[in-house]
Structure 1
């Protein structure tokens, strides 16, 4: 052991003068020289070697040359294999035996210390004390200096500070008062890694004071506005080659309130057109209540036109989940008097809906998981027939990008909807689906029914973070009571998606058909699109 009394005798002897002294510690084995500011620092350093498992450090020599003192020492062997005796407080905490032999004292100390750190004792320190030898190995007593327990007391925002106050209140509600440990720090960081509007420029930083623990968040605003354009090529019902397309523009967080404005237009090969306008305000009056307003217009050439309004209020369960109430106000007018399958009608009602979105940290994907479901109770009035009927409508959508391994991913997607009534539905009020974002291989909105579902698997192979190939297959079914048909459908295809300076470019080949019908190459659909963020 270190002979501290001898060091003190040498360091504090009467021949020390008032002038500035220089102290050097020299390891006789490695020849490494360390300069310290005074004799007290030299004593502390030599004493600390025992905490690093050098229990038999010896002082070899002390030489004084003018105002310079050189202290020569030999650390001896590093004993990582030792007998351990734990203090009563550690034994009571860990519920383990008091004494044992370990082949790695460092790992033992680290493991014990981590248990205390995980409970908020961020500045805890394991103390080692040499107690003798046994069978050629040291006996070391371990004790803990816990210091004060730390909890998260608040957040300080730096950088991009114009974020909704309610968002920060929700963050504080989730983490304030919780133990300051790695688990909660990782959860805080993950919240921003996958957030759709903001990200962190660096890892959260911590300011410790005597009475508080503040987490500093260095935020950066994401580019969240998107332009999504798709051009499709295929044949219509008359086997005529047609050009169709989709435009989808999202303006998001332009006013720093996490709000969103969406404009959507689509033209299908059968001369049908869809126009959507949607606005979303997530924190209305700085509360957790959000407002969503949507207007949908669908016109089928010169046959009929539908106009639907969907005002909704919702509540943020957390940053990823929300539940809400919505109203439905819909009207449909028959333009072509020869179109006898359709009827003029008005609908109104109320519904309940839920939505969950888990963002992704892979730029090639829109999100990791998305689930939405809804139920609506509606009253329909067929104006010319003066008939009223109640309707129930159900809807479900789910999508998840599952990481298989390495660069291999599996996209799982399913959607379904059902409307129920005691009277028959008119053709102009049926669900319409099919196309790029639903049942691929079919023309946009070419499939209609009062009930439908489809599901699909898509294998994706990523090429770095700039591109991916995909192969997919889908199966679905629809029911159209008025036509008394229940076709079973399938679609298959492949695609390639890659980043260019403008954004994410997508190219896709697909073919869809009804089971039992022959496969036709001229039914192959070609879609080319680009998703740009700005």
Structure 2
């Protein structure tokens, strides 16, 4: 092949010198098929002939070079394509691959790669395919393929680099899930996926592997995330008396300060009807380096000077894996009516026990909080009404499910559903009813302005991703509530649109919405405007 290239280069160079000032063409003609390829200069002609050898025509032969006017004709014979072959396999290899022992292939390289990949997927990371030339059959080469498997590789352990102060239980959970599994591309992707968009850590680079004679260790290069956050929302709308009011929400979260994946959350909310909520929650996920976590929640709700509810929810839970938790919790709640004229409310105290389950799947889109979220709760309660000296059994459940679906291009669909029930042996007082509505539930209505012993709603929200920094959204919601105490069972709907985008200070959200009961007309004065920002530090 070297002599061929030298001859072609010399002849083309000589022709180029003689006819330098004239317009020329170079014709490359296959003597077997008479196919022509026209190139503009001598360099392109040499590159074409060189490419034939790289594509398995390793015995390409130059037959003739002729000058016809301004045209240079180069005649060549490709010869045999050595990527076509009759293949012979051993009995054991044929059985393992479940293919015939002898067959013909037009792409030997592709076949060898395909066989090699099958063995790599079985954990033989250093497998090699060897070919032995057996002569010719019907003018084509005949080869025998064998596999050198080497040692089967299993994942033996993980080494943390970069941010090494992660909880030891977090590393043990990863090892529990992947140690002993075969080393292949599928499991490497699963490891990467399990840490992708983790709440507290991120991967600086893909997992790396260290092979020794008798071990296979995966190196994880972690980085501590900025997960402390401040979430502020300001709302504008009319209250029940048609008076224009401001309302708002502040949510402050301190997370992973002590490198234990712990969190402390402070939440405050004021609604247009002068109701206020204060919520304090502390979560420790790996108690005593185990998979057991504890959570303590204090919730206080005060409706102006009418009544106040205080609720304490201690919980213990178990990590099923990095995304799932299941737990037990207690409920201790008291309510005091401060306005003697408020006859719809009663003084009461509750206590009970319940079970809950939480599943969160992270998202690849930073603008979205998560890809999938499921939360289910069920409680058995005993409620004592102090003035009436009555004790009643109650059951309560709550279910939330939300998922972002990718539609294609820049289009996404967010589907969310939520439902809750408070069932009692006696009639419920107004101050113990479930409350919902507002920014994070039934939009188009004031915060916690809807009272019910049972409710459900569903939301479909179309999102258009302008870039990785912003998206538009528009939504429709439908819901229904039931309040036996108030004698109501309305069907509700709401709609709206918004814009979310990243600024240097954080994620900015702007939302316009309106909602009403079926049978009632939409009023412009009921339009709700929310503006919020989420900052991480």
- Kept in 2, the 8 Å contact 1:51–1:127? The answer is no
Secondary structure of 2:379's aligned partner:
strand
Distance of 2:156 and 2:448 partners within structure 1: 53
Alignment match, 1:180: 183
Alignment match, 1:92: 95
Distance of 1:143 and 1:392 partners within structure 2: 67
Structure 2 counterparts to residues 400-479 of structure 1, below 5 A: 400-479=403-482
Secondary structure of 2:478's aligned partner:
strand
- The counterpart of 1:367, out of the listed 359, 366, 370, is 370
Is 1:386 aligned with 2:397? no
Deviation at 1:87, TM superposition (A): 2.2
Alignment match, 2:20: none
Alignment match, 1:265: 268
Structure 2 counterparts to residues 477-496 of structure 1, below 5 A: 477-496=480-499
Deviation at 1:227, TM superposition (A): 1.0
Is 1:228 aligned with 2:202? no
Distance of 1:30 and 1:223 partners within structure 2: 60
Distance of 2:506 and 2:207 partners within structure 1: 30
Distance of 2:207 and 2:522 partners within structure 1: 56
Alignment match, 1:310: 313
- The counterpart of 2:304, out of the listed 280, 301, 304, is 301
Secondary structure of 1:121's aligned partner:
coil
Deviation at 1:225, TM superposition (A): 1.2
* CA separation of 1:208 and 1:377: change in aligned 2, threshold 3 A: same
Is 1:145 aligned with 2:148? yes
- The counterpart of 1:249, out of the listed 248, 252, 255, is 252
Secondary structure of 2:182's aligned partner:
coil
- The counterpart of 1:319, out of the listed 307, 319, 322, is 322
Distance of 1:80 and 1:333 partners within structure 2: 86
Deviation at 1:194, TM superposition (A): 2.5
- The counterpart of 2:82, out of the listed 79, 82, 90, is 79
Q: TM-score, normalised by structure 2?
A: 0.86
Distance of 1:54 and 1:174 partners within structure 2: 49
Deviation at 1:89, TM superposition (A): 2.6
Deviation at 1:166, TM superposition (A): 0.5
Deviation at 1:30, TM superposition (A): 5.3
Distance of 1:501 and 1:416 partners within structure 2: 36
Distance of 2:358 and 2:4 partners within structure 1: 67
Cα deviation, 1:88-120, whole Å, max 9, x if unaligned, reads 231021111011111111110011111110011
Distance of 1:163 and 1:78 partners within structure 2: 57
Cα deviation, 1:204-247, whole Å, max 9, x if unaligned, reads 11111111111111111111111110000000001110000000
Secondary structure of 1:279's aligned partner:
strand
- Kept in 2, the 8 Å contact 1:164–1:256? The answer is yes
- Kept in 2, the 8 Å contact 1:116–1:146? The answer is yes
- Kept in 2, the 8 Å contact 1:402–1:411? The answer is yes
Distance of 1:521 and 1:30 partners within structure 2: 82
Structure 2 counterparts to residues 48-197 of structure 1, below 5 A: 79-197=82-200
Is 1:532 aligned with 2:535? yes
Higher alpha-carbon deviation: 219-228 or 430-439: 219-228
* CA separation of 1:77 and 1:249: change in aligned 2, threshold 3 A: farther
* CA separation of 1:285 and 1:54: change in aligned 2, threshold 3 A: farther
- The counterpart of 1:517, out of the listed 517, 520, 524, is 520
* CA separation of 1:54 and 1:157: change in aligned 2, threshold 3 A: farther
Secondary structure of 1:481's aligned partner:
coil
Distance of 2:316 and 2:485 partners within structure 1: 35
Distance of 1:449 and 1:332 partners within structure 2: 17
Q: TM-score, normalised by structure 1?
A: 0.87
* CA separation of 1:51 and 1:305: change in aligned 2, threshold 3 A: same
- Kept in 2, the 8 Å contact 1:231–1:246? The answer is yes
Structure 1: segments with no counterpart, 5+ residues: 1-25, 32-49, 59-74
Secondary structure of 2:175's aligned partner:
helix
Higher alpha-carbon deviation: 292-301 or 190-199: 190-199
Secondary structure of 1:257's aligned partner:
coil
Deviation at 1:135, TM superposition (A): 2.2
Count matched residues.
475
- Kept in 2, the 8 Å contact 1:55–1:130? The answer is no
Deviation at 1:199, TM superposition (A): 1.1
Is 1:292 aligned with 2:321? no
Cα deviation, 1:7-39, whole Å, max 9, x if unaligned, reads xxxxxxxxxxxxxxxxxxx944557xxxxxxxx
Distance of 1:208 and 1:165 partners within structure 2: 23
Cα deviation, 1:351-393, whole Å, max 9, x if unaligned, reads 0110000011211000000000011000000011111000000
